[in-house]
Structure 1
Amino acid sequence: MNERGDTPETRFAISLADDDATKLSVTGGKGATLARLIAADFPVPSGFCATTAVYHTLTDTPEIRAAIESLEALAPEETEAIADGSSEVRSKIQSRTLPDTVRHAVTEELDTPDGDTYAVRSSATAEDLPTASFAGQHETFLGVSDGEPVFDRLRDCLASLFTERAVAYRLRNDIAHSEVAMAVVIQEMVDPAVAGVLFTADPVTGNRHVASVDANYGLGETVVSGEVSPDNARIDRRTREILAYEVGEKRYALRSDAGGNGTEPVALDSEKQATRVLSDAQLRRLVALGGQVEDLLGTPQDIEWALVEGDFVLLQSRPITSLFPLPEPAPDDDRLHVYFSIGHQQAMAEALPPLVVDWWRELLNNTAARVRSGNTEAPWAVEAGHRVYIDITPLLRFGPLKRGIPVGIAAANEPAAAALQGLLTGRSEAFPAHGRVTTIRSVGRVLRRGAPKLVPHLLRASGRFIRVFVSGPPEPRREQARIEAWGEELASRIREPETVAERVRAAFQRSDLLTVLSRLLPRIGPLLVASLLAQKTLERLFPDADTDLDASSKGLENELVTRMNQRLGDLADLAREHSEVREALRKEASLADISEGEGGQAFGNALSEFLDEFGHRASGEIDLSRPRWNDNPATLIRTIRSNLAGTDPGTHRAHLQHLERNAAAAATRLEARADHGVLGPVRKAVVRRLIRAYRGGIQFREYPKQGVAHLFTAVHEVISDAGAALAADGRLDGPEDVWYLRKEELFAALAEDAPIDADIDARRRAYERDRKKTAPPILTSEGEAPAATMEPERTEGVLSGTPVSSGVVEGPARVIRDPSSESLEKGEILVAPTTDPGWTPLFLNAAGLVMEVGGRMTHGALVAREYGIPAVASVSNATEEIRTGERIRLDGKRGTVELLDRSERY
């Protein structure tokens, strides 16, 4: 072998113009991308790459390998261990001497670039990738003079693979340290008049049609590092219109040191600070160049550029990894489309596995096919970032709906409603109203398709609405029985086919939202509407009686969530009566072991009775892949265990009775206020009926979910059975892998005995990446996630959101992301991404509630008000901002969360 090696993988230095330089394993992410740009004739400064072979040569020692292996066992939060371990690895690499063969290969290539100073930049094999950018994690050295300084900086770049931030970044992204390597790009140093960064998509809003440019005089390092406030321009890529140009406070520029000793800052006079760095014409040229780069590389790009003697040169290009994915499939027209996340509507904004996405899209698109207006075949439900969104654009073109939709969304998510309203106001031209004829025709089509099924139900619903005020709401247990029977009927339609393949097809093809609504709306809809009407009427009659109106909405024994928690509290009391059961629970024994002790049989029977009624529920139950409580009651057992330590026997029953007494007293006071004058008895009777209707609707609000959950459970079981069958055949590695197939792949796999051609591991990694992304509630076809126009004023140590349940509480926070694997101790304040009925057991011990997603009418808010605990919803990044164990003060009336351990330091 010669000193440069026989293959690209073993050569120590390679020109960026060499075809083999485009190989990621040879030149790393930065080097490979630059080589691709050079091959496509883009303007890139000449240079070469010290390849990954140099890194492997330098680190191939037992001491360095052992030090790297020790880093693999660390967790991202072990900051001190990461600092010590990474420092040790860097020190060992920097102490190594570069072999003569490496020095000779690099020296030969140094003759290639023009000039005497160089830019020496790290290029790791795991950076500048579509899934991980590693921006700012490794070292860059500018203005490096020829000779020994190049070799010193080369070694420093190799060692920077193990900076603390790079090690932590890899740990957070599940990238093994032993699987990455480092190359080093060495290019001629340019002396630009202006430099900066171009984003070919707006990194703030996500809009793919808007480019963003940051620029300053001199070298672009001041822009990349954030050392100055650069000029910023936003450009419409389609029209080339300059949408905005903001002149930054450019205090200084960075220039190459005249003596070849790196760089030096140069102060800018006030006139230059206030002057635009780039002209409109230059911006348009730059954006056009960036568009060509994006076309070559296939994704929106973050490009470092420089303006040298009037021409732009490209210094680096990497994918913008922070963008939320575009909705798919794309619209079948060129209009702007707006989508709303069904996860946010259901207060469950987490990512869904691919097959679950397909099921929800099928359910919604089946519905759209039955009532679709017009000739378009564009799907109503789309996918983005492993979430399901519905296209609300057609609704926004009808005047009354355009005004009403933001109001409706506000009940589930006020920031989302504000974001939508801001979009409708700012881009009103994109949503022209339908003409009267078109509107009549469209409504007519919908009515012709939906009326035969819905009208009879709506007529019956009208009668039920009137009866609520005349004779009162129906008896809750009978109503639940009817809804449960209907839910089981839906489930039986999926379970009844004989074969697994037929049942799976039924799961996708025998469900649509219209069928669900046509049964639910006539039964529960009138009760909820009557309750809302009664509430609004009472608020108008008694505008100063917030406390009594709030009290009158609580203490409902037959409200499902209340009944769940009462039953769980009864189970905890039962365990208290039997020492062997109590101790087994505390020792986290299995259910089988618990049943063997004295009182264990009674406890097991009581738990079975609970599961008979609620075992088909789950946390995050719209994610059909998640086990139901019948599959794994561990969440319930943890709640019972926590309740043992936190309360006295009967506390839960006493609390409910206290709420019932308060509600009765509040009703009496409201009736007394109405009972005055000649018509006092009439007004009193009216108020009594309004309160009865108000309370009646509240207690029925969760009944529809109790019924629909039977359908969810049936789909879960059928698809799980299919996964087990395919795993038994050896066509899937495990039953859970079935959730990473697409619908048509599963159909084909069950129809024929052939291998499944799907990279499950790659799909699982993609799902995990998207799971870490915050999904916007509103998303456009251009990729824009419009921001709320009602952003709360930021105060140090205080988080703000939507107040949803009044009261003030102070205590330790408990951040919980998965209620199936975590528990809450009595007196802790629950901090969660969101909550649904599956989180109900945790409310037994919660002193307060903070949610990232939700509004006044979502599950967590309703339950918090029922339990009388303070709650705040739509607190952005609450689970990241708040740490478990720190003291917080939650004000459910003002909508604030004060971080006491930190605010006391401000």
Structure 2
Amino acid sequence: MADYIKRLAQLNGDSLPEAGGKGANLGVLMQAGLPVPPGFVVTTGAYAAHLQESGLPRRIGQRLQDLREDELTSLEAASREITAWIAGSPMPAAVREEISGAWEGLGEETGLAGELAVAVRSSATAEDLPSASFAGQHETFLGVYGSEAVFQQIKNCWASLWSPQAISYRLSMGFAHLEVDLAVVVQAMIASEAAGVMFTANPVNGNREEVLISAGYGLGESVVSGLITPDTFILSKDGKLKERTLGSKESKIVLTKTGPVTEEVPLSQRAGYCLDLKELTRLAELAQAVERHFGAPQDTEWALCRGKIYLLQARPVTTLSGAEADLKILGPEDQIIYQGKKAPLGLQSVMEHSPYPHKPLDFASFKHFYQALNKSFCDAGLKPPKQEIEPVERASGCVAVCYQTPSLSPAVLWKMPPALIKECCKDTEKSWQALAREMQDWLKRMDEATAQSNDRQKLTKLLQQALRDYEKFTFQRFAAVTPAGGWDDLKLKYYIKKAVGKESAEDFKERLMRALPFRTALQNKGLLKLAQTARLQGEDSPAFARELETFLRDYGDRPSAGMGRMIAPPTWREKPELIQELIAALGSAAALPSPEESDTRQAADLEAAQALIKKGLGPKAYRKFLQILDKVRDSVIIREESVFCLEKVAGCLHRLALKIGSLLAGERVIAQKEDVFFLFLEELEEGAQGSQKLRERIEKRKRAYAQVYAAHETGVHWMIATGSFPEFVTKQQQKKKRAGEEGAGVELIQGSPASRGVYEGPVCIVRNTAEFTKLKPGDVLVSPYTTPTWTPLFKVASAAVTEIGSAGSHAAIVAREYGIPAVVAIANVTKRLQDGQRIRVDGTKGSITLL
């Protein structure tokens, strides 16, 4: 028998392809032990079988041939025909049989075999239908009785995939119509006396310590659809009522034996609140349970029936706002000391390379990494920081880090010259190769030791030693590689200026760095190959599976966030959905460039630049120029490769920490293995000894982390113990900004130049990986920052603008590699601009102009 049915209790977060977003999410809620009404999902396979048996794929394809998204009348006509074909075609016997069995089983489970009423709800697959794209376009049917009615409403849900809006959207996005699937949720209806929505954080004022509830009589549809003005309640997280507002509640939707009907609410009921204090307290308890499970504020739907509260849905809250709430992560004595003021340069570097909130265990790797970096600076004569790098936990559970940068010292005068001489004389490639072999041997030994042991205490000691080794490798990496090419870089610039003049020097320097086979460029070639295979042969093909396996073998240890210096972020191997998002972003291009075409184009640009340099230099000088150019290009490759190898070491630390987390979760010391990242390194020993006191600390930190991350998503980047990251604006930038504002009628926003060139085009704001598919060819990529995960977007975008960064940041390096203009360090640019707004990006001057 084909697998056309899944019970909700069988589903989880990995069920998106077969159950769609709603179905998978309900399964996650059930798996968490939350009170969800029973039901089942008619999988996407059933929909595909229905089309195939009715011979509809070819028929639909022909009907949509040559259809354009702007031809509204033709779209509506096509939609009417296709929906009639799907709704009118007989359902395959095998699908009917499985649905009948599931229907009977649901009747027995609920004890309502002859009177069971269900909701039949469309559930779009997340891979093909991004979460916000089809809101409200697919059908939901409430109060459905009897198997025959269920069969028909399931077909009506399938048919709703072909609404005019959905067809138009797919045309505009370049989706292949017949590759988009729909699952259907069939769930027992709750004949609720009261129902509504509940936010586990207040979306109105941004307060994450408040619960906001909207409620009305009858089914929740009257609240969700805006049919009534509901009662509104604001509670503290512990369930204490802070505020309530009486709604008019003139009508209610009730479930009858013939389906839902709308009735008038008696005046006596309208005059009172539909929930009492006991019910509100229980709702607040449910809010805490849901938020605790997901680790972030949730928007939920609920229903109250015969004294029991049911959870009908939960989604992340995406509308939290308000700087006031963001700053509540600070205590009453805490201050934001750098806001609007000049900050130590080292903090900007930290922000560029670690631009996301860290979990407590992250600060162990943070400490060892930056101790190694500071040691290398001190060897060159700088003065060590007065304060050790240590994590700090505030009363709220928010964890940050005390960090100070090395400062200038007279010792620079006698330590720096020998260091520079040593730098000029060293063989960077030889030094790096020796270190790379040592790191590879270490990785093999460490993974073997991790796999062979299930002793929590032994593995905890192994992690402590591994972190010390990480610090050693980091120090050796800076000694071997940084500032590799520094002296040669100066000599290269000298020859370029001599050949083409000072004005053109920077442009030629960028062109001479094209066609570099550095690690991130090789990674991007692999992703392009994956995208091509997906487009030509499909993501279900053996060819794609082979390419994906090869790609993950090479790049699976890359972190899903940041630059790989922390322990907590999952790797690409753990989150293959990131690869799918990247492929989808690349696939949005009408003509996907092949890796070979890209290489050829960049090599031609490099060759043309070299030819012009040759014309401006004599034969002897040109030979010296080529020698220096090779050394500088090699130094870039080595620098990128060394970062990649440190990421592999950090990936090994991540696996080791997860192994410890699995063992602790198995002994119920912590709730789930990922909770290990909410412990300090020192607390792992407590956990290894079986301490049961860690759970409360973890939950407190998780709540605080959710606040910090929500603030981060709105542009408040907070990880240093002294407060929020500042806006890094120099006096020169401020002068340029003022000059622009006093200019002739256009708004000029000054940042820092990152990649030369000028481009005018529409803004596309991308804040995280989930928004990758928004970007279209010709767009200006506007984001808070970029990391190696974001690299493929530079193939699609025509220019880039970031809130964070410098000329040496990831966005700048990759933009220069692909020859697109880029401007960095424009504070809050993702808030100041809007999607579709046209701007001019001047990467040479470091500014953007609003057109």
Pairwise TM-score range, normalised by the shorter structure: 0.5 to 0.7
Contact kept? 1:814, 1:885, Cα under 8 Å: yes
The offset of 1:506, in angstroms, is 2.9
Q: Distance in 2 between matches of 1:326 and 1:502?
A: 41
Q: Distance in 2 between matches of 1:785 and 1:337?
A: 7
Q: Distance in 1 between matches of 2:475 and 2:492?
A: 25
1:660 aligns with 2:617: no
Number of aligned residue pairs: give it: 554
Partner of 1:639: 582
1:561 aligns with 2:517: no
Partner of 1:491: 443
Partner of 1:616: 557
Partner of 2:671: 733
Aligned residue among 403, 409, 423 for 1:398: 409
1:380 aligns with 2:411: no
The offset of 1:651, in angstroms, is 3.6
- The letter for the 2-side match of 1:859 is H
Q: How does 1:131-530 map to 2 (within 5 A)?
A: 321=328, 340-341=346-347, 344-364=350-370, 378-383=387-392, 391-392=403-404, 395-396=406-407, 398=409, 462-464=424-426, 484-492=436-444, 494-495=446-447, 496=449, 498=453, 499-512=455-468, 515-525=472-482, 527-530=484-487
Q: Distance in 2 between matches of 1:825 and 1:852?
A: 20
Q: Distance in 1 between matches of 2:297 and 2:580?
A: 33
- The letter for the 1-side match of 2:768 is D
Matched residue SS, 1:511: helix
Matched residue SS, 1:533: helix
Matched residue SS, 2:686: helix
Q: Residue 71 and residue 378 in structure 1: after superposition, are their counterparts in 2 closer, same or farther (change >3 A)?
A: closer
Q: Distance in 1 between matches of 2:691 and 2:612?
A: 71
Q: Residue 668 and residue 783 in structure 1: after superposition, are their counterparts in 2 closer, same or farther (change >3 A)?
A: closer
The offset of 1:896, in angstroms, is 2.8
Q: Residue 819 and residue 68 in structure 1: after superposition, are their counterparts in 2 closer, same or farther (change >3 A)?
A: closer
Aligned residue among 808, 816, 827 for 1:857: 808
What whole-Å deviation, never above 9, does each CA across 1:23-52 have from its counterpart, x for those lacking one? xxxxxxxxxxxxxxxxxxxxxxxxxxxxxx
Contact kept? 1:855, 1:874, Cα under 8 Å: yes
The offset of 1:759, in angstroms, is 3.5
Aligned residue among 792, 804, 808 for 2:754: 804
Aligned residue among 637, 641, 645 for 1:703: 641
Matched residue SS, 2:813: helix
The offset of 1:732, in angstroms, is 2.2
Contact kept? 1:527, 1:693, Cα under 8 Å: no
The offset of 1:801, in angstroms, is 1.5
What whole-Å deviation, never above 9, does each CA across 1:838-895 have from its counterpart, x for those lacking one? 2223333222212111100111100100001111111211222333444443222232
Partner of 1:591: none
Q: Residue 863 and residue 367 in structure 1: after superposition, are their counterparts in 2 closer, same or farther (change >3 A)?
A: closer
Q: Residue 382 and residue 553 in structure 1: after superposition, are their counterparts in 2 closer, same or farther (change >3 A)?
A: farther
The offset of 1:749, in angstroms, is 0.7
Aligned residue among 62, 69, 76 for 2:197: 69
1:872 aligns with 2:831: no
Q: Distance in 2 between matches of 1:873 and 1:815?
A: 14
Partner of 1:229: none
Partner of 1:691: 629
What whole-Å deviation, never above 9, does each CA across 1:297-327 have from its counterpart, x for those lacking one? xxxxx9xxxxxxxxxxxxxxx9973869989
1:771 aligns with 2:780: no
The offset of 1:85, in angstroms, is 7.3
Listed as ranges, the gaps of 5+ residues in structure 1 are 1-63, 95-122, 139-154, 156-170, 179-205, 207-301, 303-317, 331-335, 402-438, 466-472, 586-593, 676-680
Matched residue SS, 1:875: coil
Contact kept? 2:528, 2:595, Cα under 8 Å: yes
Q: Distance in 2 between matches of 1:362 and 1:517?
A: 8
Q: Distance in 2 between matches of 1:352 and 1:89?
A: 43
- The letter for the 2-side match of 1:612 is R
Contact kept? 2:366, 2:566, Cα under 8 Å: no
Matched residue SS, 1:659: helix
Higher CA-based Rg: 1
Matched residue SS, 1:814: strand
What whole-Å deviation, never above 9, does each CA across 1:327-370 have from its counterpart, x for those lacking one? 99x9xxxxx99694377354332111111123322554588799
Contact kept? 2:389, 2:402, Cα under 8 Å: yes
Q: Residue 610 and residue 480 in structure 1: after superposition, are their counterparts in 2 closer, same or farther (change >3 A)?
A: farther
Partner of 1:817: 767
- The letter for the 2-side match of 1:653 is E
Q: Distance in 2 between matches of 1:637 and 1:365?
A: 36
Partner of 1:39: none
Contact kept? 1:805, 1:869, Cα under 8 Å: yes
Q: Residue 639 and residue 92 in structure 1: after superposition, are their counterparts in 2 closer, same or farther (change >3 A)?
A: closer
Q: Residue 893 and residue 70 in structure 1: after superposition, are their counterparts in 2 closer, same or farther (change >3 A)?
A: same
Q: Distance in 1 between matches of 2:332 and 2:496?
A: 44
Q: Distance in 2 between matches of 1:70 and 1:564?
A: 44
Partner of 2:784: 833
The offset of 1:783, in angstroms, is 8.3
Contact kept? 1:618, 1:626, Cα under 8 Å: yes
Partner of 1:552: 511
Contact kept? 1:359, 1:508, Cα under 8 Å: no
The offset of 1:742, in angstroms, is 2.1
- The letter for the 2-side match of 1:770 is V
Matched residue SS, 2:668: coil
Higher mean Cα deviation, 373-382 or 864-873? 373-382
Higher mean Cα deviation, 864-873 or 651-660? 651-660
Q: Residue 511 and residue 886 in structure 1: after superposition, are their counterparts in 2 closer, same or farther (change >3 A)?
A: same
Partner of 2:319: none
- The letter for the 2-side match of 1:866 is E
The offset of 1:719, in angstroms, is 0.9
Contact kept? 1:674, 1:684, Cα under 8 Å: yes
Q: Distance in 1 between matches of 2:375 and 2:615?
A: 53
Output the TM-score relative to the length of structure 2. 0.54
- The letter for the 2-side match of 1:464 is K
Contact kept? 2:399, 2:701, Cα under 8 Å: no
Partner of 1:97: none
Q: Residue 551 and residue 500 in structure 1: after superposition, are their counterparts in 2 closer, same or farther (change >3 A)?
A: same
- The letter for the 2-side match of 1:740 is F
Contact kept? 1:344, 1:854, Cα under 8 Å: no
- The letter for the 1-side match of 2:347 is S
Q: How does 1:34-73 map to 2 (within 5 A)?
A: 69=197
Matched residue SS, 2:696: coil
Listed as ranges, the gaps of 5+ residues in structure 2 are 1-191, 207-213, 216-221, 246-271, 273-290, 303-322
Q: Residue 516 and residue 729 in structure 1: after superposition, are their counterparts in 2 closer, same or farther (change >3 A)?
A: same
Matched residue SS, 1:772: helix
The offset of 1:175, in angstroms, is 8.9
What whole-Å deviation, never above 9, does each CA across 1:185-205 have from its counterpart, x for those lacking one? xxxxxxxxxxxxxxxxxxxxx
Q: Distance in 1 between matches of 2:433 and 2:332?
A: 43
Q: Residue 890 and residue 486 in structure 1: after superposition, are their counterparts in 2 closer, same or farther (change >3 A)?
A: farther
Output the TM-score relative to the length of structure 1. 0.51
Q: Distance in 1 between matches of 2:776 and 2:431?
A: 34
- The letter for the 2-side match of 1:845 is V
The offset of 1:706, in angstroms, is 0.9
Contact kept? 1:340, 1:778, Cα under 8 Å: no
Q: Residue 387 and residue 685 in structure 1: after superposition, are their counterparts in 2 closer, same or farther (change >3 A)?
A: farther
Q: How does 1:523-538 map to 2 (within 5 A)?
A: 523-525=480-482, 527-538=484-495
Q: Distance in 2 between matches of 1:344 and 1:368?
A: 12
Matched residue SS, 2:805: coil
